[in-house]
């Protein structure tokens, strides 16, 4: 999943970003309400995690405006305000769930996965399929021809991005920015190594081969015509 985190506490936000990345998700962080609203307005997120008390613009006003604008992206409100009236206010403002600080990360992860499952298939695609290869974004599972394939978190993110862009050529720059979060080329063979490992897991012993190298351009996940 792609998740937007609007949180002014840098340490808390870093903890969230790290935990979500280890769980196989990608996230963007906004340190204040204005930046958070701009990113939310840009869209493309499966879930938003929003703190109530933010500088420049409070979390509830962001949620209310996005709902008024027709944004149905699930929102988990995080707040140190945990009284019943606080939670009710947050939910009535348009939040889908409310979690009080401090919290257990495993509970937060379970809540955002449940919220994502509630969305209709037309709103968010949770399962990608290509030929006999299947990737489930919520359960973080991969199967080919019914056989479970175990992937490391980075391998899962790499396959998820390739499946999302199945049939298209994906360049090194696209992979660096969307899988590794690099906006520069570190001049290493990290992509080649991970592609090789992924190919060995999803193609070895199966027919046909799906992960193709497009010389001089990048890679493509595609089924034969």
Q: How far apart are CA 99 and CA 122, in angstroms?
A: 27
**Tokens linked to 119:** 């969305």
In sequence order, what DSSP letters do the residues of 77-94 get, joined into one string? EEES--SHHHHHHHHHTT
pLDDT tier at 88 (50, 70, 90 boundaries)?
very high
Distance between CA atoms of residues 103 and 12, nearest Å: 11
Distance from the Cα of residue 88 to its chain's centroid: 27
Region 35-45: mean pLDDT is 90
What is the rounded distance in angstroms from the CA atom of residue 73 to the CA atom of residue 94? 10
pLDDT (mean) for 114-141: 78
The model's pLDDT over 139-176, given as tens digits with 9 standing for 90+, comes to 889 999 999 999 998 899 999 999 988 888 999 888 88
pTM: 0.59
Residue entry with tokens 């995690």: 49
Residue 179 pLDDT grade (very low, low, confident, very high; cuts 50, 70, 90): confident
For the chain, domains (ranges, CATH) are 2-118 (3.40.50.2300), 127-221 (1.10.10.10)
Q: Two tokens at 208?
A: 């046909």
């Amino acid at each position: 999943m792609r998740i937007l985190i609007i949180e002014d506490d840098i340490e808390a936000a870093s903890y969230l970003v790290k935990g979500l990345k280890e769980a196989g998700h990608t996230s963007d962080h906004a340190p204040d309400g204005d930046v958070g609203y701009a990113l939310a307005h840009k869209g493309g997120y499966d879930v938003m995690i929003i703190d109530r008390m933010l500088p420049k613009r409070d979390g509830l006003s962001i949620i209310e405006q996005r709902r008024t604008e027709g944004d149905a992206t699930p929102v988990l409100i995080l707040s140190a305000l945990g009284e019943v009236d606080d939670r009710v206010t947050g939910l009535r403002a348009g939040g889908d769930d409310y979690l009080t600080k401090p919290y257990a990360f495993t509970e937060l992860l379970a809540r955002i996965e449940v919220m994502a499952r509630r969305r209709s298939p037309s709103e968010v695609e949770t399962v990608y399929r290509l030929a006999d290869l299947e990737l489930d974004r919520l359960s973080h599972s991969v199967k080919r021809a019914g056989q479970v394939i175990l992937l490391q978190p980075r391998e899962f993110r790499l396959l998820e991005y390739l499946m999302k862009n199945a049939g298209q050529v994906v360049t090194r720059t696209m992979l660096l920015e969307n899988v590794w979060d690099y906006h520069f080329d570190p001049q290493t063979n990290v992509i080649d190594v991970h592609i090789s490992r992924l190919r060995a897991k999803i193609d070895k012993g199966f027919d046909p081969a799906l992960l193709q190298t497009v010389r001089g351009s990048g890679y493509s996940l595609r089924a034969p015509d």
